Copies of this chain bind each other. A is one copy, B any other.
Amino acid sequence: MAPKGGFPALPVIEGARFAAAAAGVRYTTGRLDVALMELCAGSTVAAVFTRSATRAAPVLDGEEKLARIATGSAGSGDAGFAIIVNAGNANAFTGAAGSGSVEAVSKAVGERLGIPAGHVFMSSTGVIGEPLKHERIVAVLDGLKSDLDGAALPRAAEAIRTTDTFAKGASAEVAIGGGTVRIAGIAKGSGMIAPDMATMLVYLFTDAPIDQPLLQAMVSRASDRTFNCITVDGDTSTSDTLICGATGKAKGVARLTDAESDDARAFEKALHGVMLDLAHQVVRDGEGATKFVEVRVTGARSDEDARKVALATANSPLVKTALAGEDPNWGRIVMAVGKSGAEADRDRLAIRLGDLTIAEKGWVAEGYREEDGAAYMKRDELVIGIDLGLGDGESVVWTCDLTHQYITINADYRS
């Protein structure tokens, strides 16, 4: 379900440059598999990482670096930043060799770009448990450096793909403080997608001048409402990473320092929009997906209860196969509500497909006709509405269907 019109045009973010290369990390067909991204001196960065208990080496390294940068203890002043990403090997569960690889690549990138290694973030996505041949990445760094180009973000989006069927990009421009700020982002991810950041890599760039703590707060908040609200298979990756770099090069824009200012609100809204767009693209590219589904839960006793119901529904194999079969089998939604662990009362529960009320007050809705439900299910984009009738708790989660193609992709991904 690639977006119509293909990869979008992205604005140039002054102070950020990009390059991609085919390093043969795992693939031998000459496909792009390494991306380098550079942020000029004076930039700020914020990041969000997977909460998996078996986080990959680059994630553990990134967490440490971010903490030192955020607390000003990185000791590298106004130096720029770099992000180096490889696809094909996740460098996860690779023991001491794994952190050694991150260290070696960070050092090599830093040397070439004149950036301290503590300002170089690495991300890796792909197979878990196989040593990363990091020398193959180091071998292409000189070429990457000479290719760095402010317009090459689409090539980076290509390079970070694994099972993705299309490269993902989104952007926004927002007028603030007498100038215009631009945001451009890319993402990868299509399986092992679940809240708490799935096998998802997201890189966002903006020319906004903004303090690091404020940028971090905005990114964390938006991440909770976008990437942490999508699920393809309920599986959480060991490698998820979102990094947002702000170069501060937008002309005529005063530095954002106050979260409550109109400018900061406008910027955060635009950032949230770009992240939501990318998150939806990840779901649309869910492995084998043929439907894009919004699960909207209202009337729960609490937001947390609403989220339990939304995720139980979005992750239920029986709901997801009914979606694939275009079957308005709302009984499976009742089942999912029942198993969610949230408080529910059968006789107050209402279930809707789009504007169609299917069930209410413990029974099929008066006037509901199976053929109306069946016609609705043929759409590519579906909204499942679940109202628990108990309180004000709400939650929205986006997901896709579970198809034969998911099995095909995942039953023979590695061997």
Contacts and interface: CB of A to CB of B under 8 A. Distances in A.
Contact of A92 (B331, B336, B344, B402): B331
Interface stretch (A33-41, A65-73, A231-239): A231-239
A92 B334 contact: yes
B339 A236 contact: yes
Q: How many copies does the complex hold?
A: 2
Given A316-B234, A337-B54, A331 B128 contact: yes
A345 B95 CA distance: 12
Interface in A90-125: 90, 92-97
A316 B407 contact: no
Interface in A224-254: 233-238
A129 interface: yes
A192 B238 contact: no
Contacts of A194: 339
Interface in A305-346: 315-318, 321-322, 324-332, 334-340, 342-346
Contact of A410 (B325, B336, B346, B363): B325
B238 A334 contact: yes
* Most B C-beta atoms less than 10 A away, residue of A130, A194, A196, A317: A317
Interface in A401-415: 402-404, 406-408, 410-415
A210 interface: no
Contacts of A342: 53
A361 interface: yes
Contact of A346 (B93, B316, B347, B362): B93
A350 to B, nearest CB: 12
